A = this chain, B = another copy of it.
Amino acid sequence: MLDKSIIERFKNIVGEKNVETSSMSLHSYSYDATPGFRKTPDIVIAPHNTEEIAEIVKICNDHKIPLTPRGSGTNLSAGTTPLKGGVVLLFKLLNNILEIDDQNLTVTVQPGVVTKSLIEKVEAKGLLYPPDPSSMNISTIGGNINENSGGLRGLKYGVTRDYVLGLTIVLPNGDIIKTGGKLAKDVAGYDLTRLFVGSEGTLGIITEAILKLVPMPEYKKTMLATYEDIDDAAKTVSAIIENRIIPATLEFLDQPTVEVVEEYNQIGLPTDAKAILLIEQDGPESVVNKDIDKIAEICKELHAVTVSVAKNEQEATALTTARRSALSTIARLRPTTFLEDATVPRSQVAPMVKEINRIAEKYNVKICTFGHAGDGNLHPTVPTDVRDKEEYHRVEQAFAEIFEKAVELGGTITGEHGVGAMKAPFLKLKLGEEGVRALKNIKQSFDPNNIMNPGKMFFEDDEKGE
């Protein structure tokens, strides 16, 4: 419980109507999109600007009050669950696109801007902001930056990190710093910009960002290949790249996933196929046509049962929308859905999918696997019920083994979702004790009082909240 005088100080900073303390409000911010984690915060505050945030942060730092920044809470690592209580900081009043700069190909945004709306605004000017996490209809740019979000276009275009040029940051001591700028090159000191991208709100509060844009590709084509054998699909992924083609999107869906996606979307996906590849290429028309023809050839050589190119934009959108709906459709099967993102080198996709299937059988859990095959970023997804303790335990064991296997195959415990509270116990699998120690030292150097999103990234106890 916060002292009344502190609540008054917060109200004086942001105005009474931007402070919420009712139990209903607090409950709404006690969890995020990640199942199994919940903790009621003490207060929810929506500041107007960087200066107000600096004042709030100073109070929190002085009184060692935990502070969890939160965009739309769509993350899948319990990254925005306020596990230690305290303040939840909202960005709903910081949701403006401040400038689209045609000459420097940049957009300057506040963190509360919804990803999709940013993408649409810049597309209207013939520009592309590539990072497109599946949650982009509701996720915010601030959340994307804090989690270093990926998406379907990551293979060709990279992830959020590759598009952040500059940040305004409030540090835990209340200092306001500006990093980078509208600059393609800047080596003045350590790369604070990229250190903050993906830092999960544990080092400071991002209050403004300069993002890089690229020219909108003139043309796009979408195709689908179906396989009787998962191995052939995985081999196709490698073969495309070995042929020096980098598609914009190269997605994989296994049979269990296709079944539920088709049941919900009804767009004619072949539910009997063991695996589907959804492939998209963009660029100049002649190049796209040449690439898609070559890809179709490769698919056929590697025993694809069917290879079909979307006839028009509508058909293409139906396909990618179906893929984007994978999580939400699987979520309809059971009360709880765990979605992971163990990631391996592209060449290890086939062995990893096999391991996932073996592990599913070993622990007797249903695992639907889909994901960004082109960059080895798989999403093994388990429909379950957290209230069934025995089954839940098996699910946890299965995931632990999946993480171990991913690292064994040269991969990582998380490709795009972040560590959060969810994967904190597994961080040392990837980085070793020495690596985790180095990260903890960085955390300590920025936030000695551990007020910034505590309980995330670093495993302290098996804290899942209330």
Contacts and interface: CB of A to CB of B under 8 A. Distances in A.
B161 A412 contact: no
Given A177-B435, A242-B102, A195 B191 contact: yes
A214 B246 contact: yes
Interface string A408-436: 00111111111100010001001110111
Given A241-B103, A431-B177, A187 B416 contact: yes
A103 B192 contact: no
Interface string A429-456: 0111011111101111110000000000
A245 interface: yes
A218 to B, nearest CB: 9
Contacts of A345: 103-104, 181-183
A176 B435 CA distance: 8
A249 interface: no
A419 B189 contact: yes
A160 to B, nearest CB: 10
A375 B187 contact: no
B242 A189 contact: no
Given A175-B437, A284-B286, A188 B430 contact: yes
A435 B178 contact: yes
A159 B183 CA distance: 12
Contacts of A190: 195, 198-199, 203, 439, 442-443, 457
Interface residues of A, number: 91
Interface stretch (A80-88, A147-155, A361-369): A147-155
A401 interface: no
A15 interface: no
B431 A184 contact: no
Contacts of A411: 181, 183
A343 to B, nearest CB: 5
B104 A188 contact: no
A101 interface: yes
A66 interface: no
A155 to B, nearest CB: 6
Contacts of A265: none
A119 interface: no
A186 interface: yes
A155 B186 CA distance: 13
Interface of A: 101-105, 126-127, 147-148, 150, 154-155, 158-159, 161-162, 171, 175-179, 181-192, 194-195, 197-199, 203, 214-216, 238, 241-242, 244-246, 284, 286-287, 290, 343-347, 372, 374-377, 410-419, 423, 427, 430-432, 434-439, 441-446, 457
